[in-house]
Amino acid sequence: MGMNSAKSRNSLGFIFNHLIIRVRVPFHAFTYSTINTGSRDNVQNPNQNRNQFLQSVRDVCKARAFRSLDNALDMFDRMLHMRPLPSIMDFNQLLGAIARMKHYPEVITLVREMESVGIAPSVPTLNVLINCFCHLNRVDFGFSVLARILKLGHQPDCITLSTLVKGLCLQGNLAGAARLVVEMEKKGYKPSVITYGTMINSLCKIGETGAAIRLLRNMEEGNFEINVVHYNTIIDSLGKDIMVTEALNLCSEMMSKGVQPNIVTYNSLIHGLCNFGRWKEATSLFKEMEQRNIMPNLIDEAMRLFHEMSYKGVTPNVVTYNTLIGGFFRVGRPHAAVELFRKMRGQHPDLHTYAILLDGLCKNKQIVEAMTFFQEMEDEKLDPNIVIYNILIDGLCNVGKLTTARELFYSLPTKGLQPDVPTYNIMIKGFCNEGLIDEANELLEKMDGSDCSPNDRTYNTIIQGLLQHNKTSKAMEVVKIMVSKGFSANTTTTRILIDLLSANPTDKALQELLQ
């Protein structure tokens, strides 16, 4: 949708003239002495491996893999001395890469060097230049570059105008940015997602959340792909504007459209809820984060809000404690989890609290501490359930304390508990790991003769143990039983079989197992 006539170019130029106060200094005057071009005289033969060199420049620019600014400047010098000169596209790619390194003054100087040897900048070149001026807080010079584009008979593209919108926003001139967006649309230029995002962010920063929401609706009408960043910006602003209910509604709307909340979304919502004493809803969000597995990065923030609740006289309940203790374990901070548990003694930890605590300690191989808390639990007349025992037995097996695990396992009936399938699976795995295959088999037979039937995990565990201890014939028997019961080998079992067959390609028993 370009503008093809001189009349349309003049019209566009007139609009831009009224958006800003024009400056008389052309962009050539905006030079910097930060680069001493004379110091870069170690230039290699410009014709040496030309194509290979230019390809390496493109690759480094694409990967953003410059070692330093000097590395980029050396490449520029070599390109500048090549004959014939590289294409303007190669220069643009290098200029863009240096701009991404935030060396804006250097880019401006390099463009001047290019012109001094007769390289005419293209619209993409001048777009990079406009971007640099905007980041240097000189959007007025950016508009001078736009005037030059028009004077040369070129048409600005969407990147040109979107960059200027960003520059106006960076200067706080939102009214000018909004007018420019309107004029862009009138002239057939479609603002990009980035343009809208910049505008939304700027509006929210000055408290114009309503205007930001209207822009969001415009994006929807224009079939733009709205992402979580756009929503997060507005959700955060709504929370700060005492409109946390509206923020929650927008989050629900976002999710209904397939955009999933991230840690920033939850951070903003929880802040807003806590600021208005809506602790129950904040706690629910923490639990939701836990279920979505995005809790770990926010545990410190969770603790800050936890202390804020206490400071305001709101007593955190056991659910809050459970969530935080579990969060600390998941981010590898068991000491913080234990410390928090110690501080909740007046809140009566329940079985779930102890399950979280013991599981976290066992997974961190802190079995001595886990057994200490288990004893405290019994001292406080809390009757451990089978889940608690499974956690402890598994923890003991994993640190090689099979004797203690066995004692705990066989003591279950005296405590009024019966092992369930996970209990048997844990013990069978423990026996197999220690090479006690006969004891593992005894447990399997015991399960078969009880109401606690083996599952696929049981069979796979014992088959793996048998194979690892070269009991192929017995493994074959168990495989047949497993298949007859409708179960199949899992990935680990299959991999062990393949590895064994690779080592023993003539073993007919193994071949039969794999069939």
Residues 343, 398 share a domain: no
| Residue 76 burial (10 A CB sphere; 0-12, 13-18, 19+) | buried
Domain boundary, last residue among 384, 402, 422:
384
Domain boundary, last residue among 256, 290, 312:
312
Residues 320, 372 share a domain: yes
State pTM to two decimals. Answer: 0.48
Residues 287, 322 share a domain: no
Look at residue 75 and tell me if it is in a domain: no
Look at residue 497 and tell me if it is in a domain: yes
Residues 245, 300 share a domain: yes
Look at residue 99 and tell me if it is in a domain: no
Residues 287, 232 share a domain: yes
Please name which of 219, 183, 188 lies closest in space to residue 203, comparing C-alpha atoms. 219
Q: What is the pLDDT of residues 432-476, one digit of tens each?
A: 999 999 999 999 888 887 778 888 899 889 888 888 888 888 888
- Domains in the chain: how many in total? 4
Residues 244, 302 share a domain: yes
How far is CA 261 from its chain centroid?
11
**Regarding predicted confidence, which is higher, 151 or 182?**
151
- Contact in structure between 459 and 481 (CB atoms under 8 Å): yes
Look at residue 194 and tell me if it is in a domain: no
Q: Quick count: other Cβ atoms within 10 Å of Cβ 87?
A: 13
Residues 349, 398 share a domain: no
Long-range contacts: 436-441, Cβ < 8 Å, 24+? 436/402, 437/465, 437/466, 437/469, 437/471, 437/474, 440/465, 441/474
Residues 332, 321 share a domain: yes
Look at residue 298 and tell me if it is in a domain: yes
Look at residue 437 and tell me if it is in a domain: yes
The Cα 237–Cα 227 span in angstroms is 16
Mean of all residue pLDDT scores within the chain:
81
Residues 484, 471 share a domain: yes
Domain boundary, last residue among 312, 346, 367:
312
The Cα 53–Cα 114 span in angstroms is 19
Look at residue 276 and tell me if it is in a domain: yes
Residues 473, 443 share a domain: no
Look at residue 182 and tell me if it is in a domain: no
Handedness of CA 287, 293, 296, 300 (dihedral sign): negative
Full domain range(s) for residue 502 = 457-514
Q: What is the pLDDT of residues 210-227, one digit of tens each?
A: 888 988 998 888 888 888
Considering the chain, what percentage of its residues have pLDDT values greater than 70? 82
CATH of the domain at 286: 1.25.40.10
Q: What is the pLDDT of residues 398-412, one digit of tens each?
A: 999 999 999 999 999
**48 pLDDT exceeds 60?**
no
Residues 304, 233 share a domain: yes
